[in-house]
Chains A and B, each alone.
Chain A
């Protein structure tokens, strides 16, 4: 049979999929057609013309997609051997039990009858369901699709997500500049033009675009940074690890101790005050409470001026380097690469992680952000002159019911009859030790008040119920949440009567299920989507060089007995009497056609043509269109004019020229914190450095566990997807290193620390503290500051020496077993993965 070519979209970019005899043989990037596809944009800057390649770039892990599709798949519906829904359930065997293959009918019947039983016995709130992010790509089939619609119709305790990748920005900066509709991040528009034309320097602060900032958009923006280097734009990188941007493109690497970034920020401001190198126009006209902050910095509040010498003691950076950094920053047109969704990394995932992000905005206010070349931009997303006006929904544009966008009835936010919520990072406690209280609604994108909402689970009153059933859809939390032995204990707890695992691949969590349902990957069914488009709070945060809408063609039949998620929930809905509500009589193609018709695509093509060709390239912004740059309007005091900012609540009002803070300005003294959290002494109205509750200065801990561990997002896998599935990745030494036939997860340690412990390159070592022991392979490197170790989070192979035993040493490399479950601060329910002390020793079995 001859080779067929299909168009699909992976998590890391649009692809051409080559299929022979029903098997995928190759996966290639999309190459744009110069005649048929819309032309690309051009930027004229500094005497050069910049235009992107006429092809899509792929994430490294996407290149391994053909392997992942076939490897480590859940092949059949399965039941845990010692789970008897009508007798002994043996929850204590979860994680170590065997599985037996059962039929789809049997599996679905058990799930449906358990749902009915639990609803009758405990109430509908006793069921919670949740999904991880990005194990598949699509609009209709993604996590806001079938699972969300099914459970919103049925009624369940929604599991609120914490903003895990950018905690401190969300919980911190929303109180400085509003922007809650972006979950604390900056708006991002036309910054590539601005940088190529004006910027002299970029400070990458705890940001590593060469590793992680591509999000779903392949490696589209790497070429932008290559151009900037060619233009001589300087890159300064602040990170305890000489990260992949610093090591290949950096002009200067500055390595603070983890958790001390706020002190560094304060000292930079001190130098600017001393030398009067800041934008007086901006602070006088665009900020509120500046003088209060100035008092803190100069030591007038607590007697401690935030001098470079003071910060040097805390951060471990020489005072002369801090002074030099402050001077370089103030003397050049500088972008701060932090504060966009593409710059969400380490320093905001620490104890009191709200402080450094807020200080970042204070610093950039002193430099007058919004003027040419001075802005918040990571050299990555939200930047190319693509046309945001073309209408196509991003995956979260309709909240937790994607199909509701085009359905007769939408079940979000008003569909779910259950008001009780669970909260992701507290789920183990909610299951094992109810009731649990917390403050904050997770993603607080509707208004600032959501950050202060009080929750209890079980909810008080007749509608509350203890959690008895978990339906996990696309599992990864056992390696991405903090202190994840908690999850092992939770899954084995008798309170939890029923666990369903629904996924394409065997994840670390899958083995804890009672019933396992095999789902197909997006290569095995159709969907319709835009590349890289999150929508919702990430509206118009597309990261690519072209907007490309994909008709995701079905390349192969669902493998083994897997089924598309939409079909699995339809079969469950049929058993529970809600199929008509769920489908409204639509086939998948009916849904796709409705989304097509909802969008602007019909202005350019027909559904049939689109389906056949597989993609559409949205025409770029016309070259003669004046770029509408982030915050330029604010700097200049004009109404916000950005095409990207459709969710800005001030749009079209008499406050359109203001930020969405009470004062309309950058608030150095936050009025929302004064109003809603006046008693909170851990997130004061004005940000400041607060020593970590687990850091270099917590002496009682450092005596036992002297090394600080940072665990940023991985470079070569995405959350727990791809690792332990695409084995080709194990031949990339930064990803895993093979020893005696086993691919270990690397930990990076400085030669000084390694020598003290007798550790050599390639030794197996144990990282341990009171919470866990994890076995890794040592990479001895000058790229980490002494006293700190680095290992990426999200290894996907939970492999305890004693299967299913919480606390048993894990040799799969799940370093989040070691991180603390304590939240950022008392009223900030985020994860502080990078406030983690460990000791390391050679591993001897």
Chain B
């Protein structure tokens, strides 16, 4: 038996949108009887990308998070739908039967991730099928994974312990987009952005960057330290939301500087001057 899953490494996603467009190429206007009715020619978002801009000039980064159906083991859509239109296949793929689901808009609202769309033209709830129609013909992977150029998307069989996906899941680095839902999601993510606190440390007397300055971040869960790099930059990445931290900067021969940062958003503290 197979148990299909997708692993998404957010760090490797550069936002090329191939997955998004490939899904349209496969499904827009194309009917796969027994699997799915056509996606609209335009506007389908069975997999889409959330762009997150972080930080402020000149310390900025962008993360792209591909979003699609998680094919949950205990999927709300399967549980809440009383009509039998939404079902899980033995291989774990969650399907919406295009015949049985016709006109049933309530299905759209069952997914807490909001990954079911309403096809107005066909009066049909629709979502990702993991390209079940291709997998059943013996194809290796869904189309979005096939066109992902960076390896950010990995598809495979969790029942095969030698598969890449089994190894990735076993690494402990992957988690559902929202672990609180606890639905046995089969699409897991690595490095979904949280918040960072960053800054640039300068020796004010000589106007040079303070490479090697020690930076300590103290919050409710203890402290972390790092050192400013060759550009005087430091960054604490992966911090939880809405926490107030104390940032302390020390360099031999200079006065200690203490700042605070609240992670209601990503924080770039700017240039921090050290004085003798």
Interfacial residues of chain A within 768-795, with CB under 8 A of chain B in the complex: 781-786
Q: Which residues of A contact B53 (CB under 8 A)?
A: 247, 781-783
Q: How far is the CA of A226 from the CA of B154 in the complex (A)?
A: 15
Q: Which residues of B50-67 have CB atoms within 8 Å of chain A's CB atoms?
A: 51, 53, 55-64
**Taking the complex as formed, is A427 at the interface, i.e. its CB lies under 8 A from any CB of chain B?**
no
Q: Is A658 an interface residue (CB 8 A)?
A: no
A63-B147, A248-B64, A324-B232 as given contacts; A255 in contact with B57, CB under 8 Å: yes
Please measure, in the bound complex, the distance between the C-alpha atom of A734 and the C-alpha atom of B51, giving whole angstroms: 10
Check A323 against B147 for contact (C-beta < 8 Å). no
State the CA gap A29–B21 with chains docked (Å). Answer: 13
Q: Which of A169-177, A217-225, A411-419 contacts B (4 or more CB under 8 A)?
A: A217-225
Q: Say yes or no: B12 contacts A732, CB within 8 Å.
A: no
Q: A223-B150, A254-B58, A733-B51 are in contact. Are A320 and B21 (CB under 8 A)?
A: no
The residues in B between 24 and 77 inclusive whose CB is less than 8 angstroms from any CB of A are: 24-26, 29-30, 42-43, 51, 53, 55-64
Asked, given contacts A29-B146, A320-B208, whether A60 binds B14 with beta carbons under 8 Å apart, the answer is no
Q: Is the CB of A222 within 8 A of B18?
A: no
Given known contacts A63-B147, A324-B231, is B15 in contact with A244 (CB within 8 Å)?
Answer: yes
The segment from A20-28, A459-467, A601-609, A833-841 that touches chain B is A20-28
Interface residues on B, range: 35 or more
- Once A222-B14, A247-B62, A324-B211 are accepted as A-B contacts, the answer to whether A728 and B24 lie under 8 Å apart by CB is yes
In the complex, are the beta carbons of A324 and B209 less than 8 A apart? yes
- The answer to whether B24 touches A323 (Cβ under 8 A) is no
B136 cross-chain contacts in A, Cβ below 8 A: none
Judge whether A242 is part of the interface by a CB distance below 8 angstroms. Answer: yes
Whether the Cβ atoms of B60 and A320 lie closer than 8 Å is no
In Å, the complex CA distance between A688 and B202 comes to: 29
User: B218 → chain A, closest Cβ, in Å?
Assistant: 25
User: CB-CB < 8 A to A247: which residues of B?
Assistant: 53, 60-62
Distance (whole angstroms) from the CB of A799 to the closest CB of chain B: 20
Smallest CB separation, B18 vs chain A (Å) = 6
Complex alpha-carbon distance, A328 and B60, angstroms:
20
Contacts of A732 in B (CB 8 A): 17, 20
Which one, A26, A321, A785, contacts B231 given CB within 8 A? A321
Complex contacts, B231 vs chain A, CB 8 Å = 252, 321, 324-325, 328
| Complex contact B42–A783 (CB within 8 A) | no
Q: Which residues of A contact B223 (CB under 8 A)?
A: none
- A498 near B: Cβ within 8 Å? no
Q: Which B residues from 112 to 146 make CB contacts under 8 A with A?
A: 140, 143, 146
Contact residues in A for B99 (Cβ distance below 8 Å): none
B209 & A250 in contact (Cβ 8 Å cutoff)? no
Q: Does any Cβ of A come within 8 Å of B159's Cβ?
A: no
Q: Which residues of B contact A31 (CB under 8 A)?
A: 140, 146
User: Which residues does chain A contribute within 8 Å of B64, judged by CB atoms?
Assistant: 248
Name A23's closest neighbour in chain B (CB-CB). B29
Main secondary structure of the interface of B (DSSP, over half): mixed
Q: Which chain A residue shows the least CB distance to B30?
A: A25
Does A680 reach chain B (CB closer than 8 Å)?
A: no
Is there an interface contact between B12 and A226, defined as CB atoms closer than 8 Å? yes
Other-chain contact of A731, B22, B43, B59, B230 (Cβ < 8 Å): B43
Given contacts A253-B60, A318-B271, A324-B209, contact A28 B21 (CB under 8 A): no
Question: Are the C-beta atoms of B207 and A750 separated by less than 8 Å?
Answer: no
A250 CA to B235 CA in the complex, in Å?
A: 13
Q: Does A210 contact B (CB under 8 A)?
A: yes
B19: nearest chain-A partner, CB-CB: A63
**Taking the complex as formed, is A430 at the interface, i.e. its CB lies under 8 A from any CB of chain B?**
no
Contact A319 B25 (CB under 8 A): no
Of A27, A223, A246, which contacts B149 at CB under 8 A?
A: A223
Decide if A66 is an interface residue (CB 8 Å cutoff).
yes
Whether B57 pairs with A60 at a CB distance below 8 angstroms is no
Q: How many residue pairs, one in A and one in B, have C-beta atoms under 8 Å apart?
A: 131
For the complex formed, measure the closest distance between the CB of A317 and the CB atoms of chain B, giving whole angstroms: 9
By beta carbon, the residue of chain A nearest B31 is A25
Q: Given A63-B25, A324-B208, A728-B21: A786 and B147 within 8 A (CB)?
A: no
Partner pick for A248 among B55, B62, B211, CB 8 A cutoff = B62
CA A750 – CA B57 in complex, angstroms? 9
Residues of B within 8 A of A27 (CB): 25
A43 touches B (CB below 8 Å): no
The yes or no answer to A249 lying at the interface (CB within 8 A) is yes
Q: Is B97 an interface residue (CB 8 A)?
A: no
Q: Is the CB of B25 within 8 A of A66?
A: yes
Specify which chain B residues have a CB less than 8 angstroms from the CB of A781 in the assembled complex.
53
The reply on B233 being an interface residue by CB < 8 A is yes
The verdict on A320 contacting B232 (CB below 8 Å), with A55-B146, A247-B61, A782-B55 known, is yes
**Contacts A64-B21, A226-B150, A716-B17; is A26 near B30 (CB within 8 Å)?**
yes
Give Cα A731–Cα B146 distance, bound, in whole angstroms: 21
Is B230 a contact of A328 with CB atoms below 8 Å?
A: yes
CB–CB B20/A210 < 8 A: no
Query: Given known contacts A60-B17, A324-B211, is B26 in contact with A26 (CB within 8 Å)?
Result: yes
B16 part of interface (Cβ distance < 8 Å): yes
Residues of chain B with a CB closer than 8 A to A246's CB: 60
Interface residue? B84 (CB, 8 A): no
Roughly how many angstroms separate A415 CA and B217 CA in the complex, as a whole number? 73
User: B240 contacts the other chain (Cβ, under 8 Å)?
Assistant: no
Q: Indicate whether B238 reaches chain A with its CB closer than 8 angstroms.
A: no
A783 with B60: in contact, given A64-B21, A252-B233 (CB under 8 Å)? yes
- A420: chain B residues at CB < 8 Å are none
Q: What is the bound-complex CA distance between A785 and B59, given in angstroms?
A: 11
A55→B140 CA distance, assembly (Å): 12
Decide yes or no: A63 and B21 within 8 Å by CB, A25-B30, A222-B150 being known contacts: yes
A58 at the interface (CB under 8 A from B): yes
Neighbouring A residues of B230 by C-beta, 8 Å:
324, 327-328, 331
Closest to B59 in A: A253
User: When each residue 183-215 of chain B gets 1 if its CB lies under 8 Å from chain A and 0 otherwise, what string results?
Assistant: 000000000000000000010000111010000
A189 within 8 A of B: no
Across-interface contacts of B42 in A (CB, < 8 A): 727-728, 731
Further pairs besides A63-B22, A248-B63: 11, Cβ < 8 Å: A57-B147, A210-B16, A222-B14, A222-B149, A223-B150, A226-B12, A247-B60, A254-B58, A327-B230, A331-B230, A782-B60
Closest 6 CB pairs of A and B: A219-B149, A247-B62, A57-B149, A63-B21, A328-B230, A324-B209
Chain B contacts to A: CB under 8 angstroms: 12-18, 20-22, 24-26, 29-30, 42-43, 51, 53, 55-64, 140, 143, 146-147, 149-151, 202, 207-209, 211, 230-233, 271
